[in-house]
Amino acid sequence: MLLFILLGGLAYSCQNRPKEVLNRKRMERLMYDVYIAEATMENDYRNFDSSEKKEAYINRIFKAHKTTQAQWDTSLSWYSDRIDLYLKMNDSVKVRLQRVRQGIDALMAQQNRDDPALLPPSYLPPFYTFSMPDPKKGFRFRLDSTELSSKVTGNDFLFSFSAIGIPSGFSSVFTSLLTLVYSDTTIYRFQHIKENKTYEFSASKYIPGDTITEITGFVRLQDSTGMAPHIQLYNIYLRDIQTSSETDSLKAVPDIPAGSSLTPDSVELLKTDAEELFKPDSIKEVQ
């Protein structure tokens, strides 16, 4: 009977919720992002060293949820006055945060256990953090045509990853390259990584008169600022382009001049000549 009364009271409260108060589902989603934003600002003091920067960051969260600071304050006050409902919502958000954290910890633990020498060249880590004791500061992969066919069933495919933890004004050389080797043609897809966003490299198994035989790729950071431990890559994958998301993405298709000597190991070239050699928004085929 007490449980029935409690549930009935909660239902009655939700039904009499003022229109300016966010519903429970929207409020929980907003609480989740606000909690993450608050933790980010607390730990990333270099990028949030003023109240103006913190306010701008929080306002971006509200904008993404199509709400305002005033609506957040009103909703928080309304739910706080209904403590049983608020505690249930808060517990739900905490469980979601813990679940995400446990997933990340599991991925990091798995990477620390994996011996790179024992992994196949085609292995792509789903998550990579530059805080790991890895002198290479990045990862590489290589797939032949058979391995690619097992991963991609269609003609078009996508190599993608998301970056987080890159500070504003980051000046270190942070790059990614996808090399598409066809029978008579090699195409390079290069990208500077400068922002916290999703980066995508699209490609096809077949081009006019030619078929792909191998693809290689790498993501590498040459850090001289000591900020590398804050940077992480996640949602790293190579798969059919039809099943991928186009949200907040960057198609990386720069121009690499014919005759340029560029391989996945050409670190010095990327360090000295990258800005001059790579132009955005075009593709150059190297015969």
Domain residue spans of the chain: 2-112, 121-286
Rounded-to-integer distance, Cα 93 and Cα 29, Å: 8
Q: What is the distance, to the nearest Å, from the Cα of residue 284 to the centroid of all Cα atoms in its chain?
A: 27
125 — pLDDT class (breaks 50, 70, 90) = confident
pLDDT of residue 12: 47
Is there a contact between 238 and 159 (Cβ–Cβ < 8 Å)? yes
Distance in Å from the first CA to the final CA of the chain: 79
Q: In the structure, what pLDDT confidence band is assigned to residue 281 with cuts at 50, 70 and 90? A: very low
The chain-wide mean pLDDT, for the chain, equals 75
Q: What is the pLDDT of residues 248-270, one digit of tens each?
A: 333 333 333 333 333 333 333 33
pLDDT in the model for residue 26: 94
Tell me the CA distances in angstroms from 215 to 18, 184, 212, one per residue in order.
Answer: 57, 14, 8
pLDDT band at 90 (very low <50, low <70, confident <90, very high): very high
Residue 155 has pLDDT above 50, yes or no: yes
pLDDT number for residue 242: 61
